[in-house]
Structure 1
Amino acid sequence: MAFRAGSANTLSGMGVADHSKSTYMELQRKKFHRYIIFRIEEKKKEVVVEKTGGPTESYAEFTASLPENDCRYAVYDYDFVTSENCQKSKIFFISWAPAMSRIRAKMLYATSKNRFKRELEGIHYEIQATDPTEMDLEVLQDRAH
Structure 2
Amino acid sequence: MIDAPGIVTALDGDFAIVRMEESGCGRCHETGGCGGNNIGRLFCSAPRSFRVLNPGKSSPGDRVVVAIDEGALRRSALMCYGLPLLALFIGAFCGSALAGETGAILGAICGLFSSWLLLRYALRGQTPDQRSQPFIRS
User: Shorter-normalised TM-score: what interval?
Assistant: under 0.3
Which structure has the larger Rg? 2
**What TM-score does the superposition give when structure 2 sets the normalisation length?**
0.21
The higher-RCO structure (CA 8 Å, 6+ apart) is 2
More helix by share: 2
**What TM-score does the superposition give when structure 1 sets the normalisation length?**
0.20
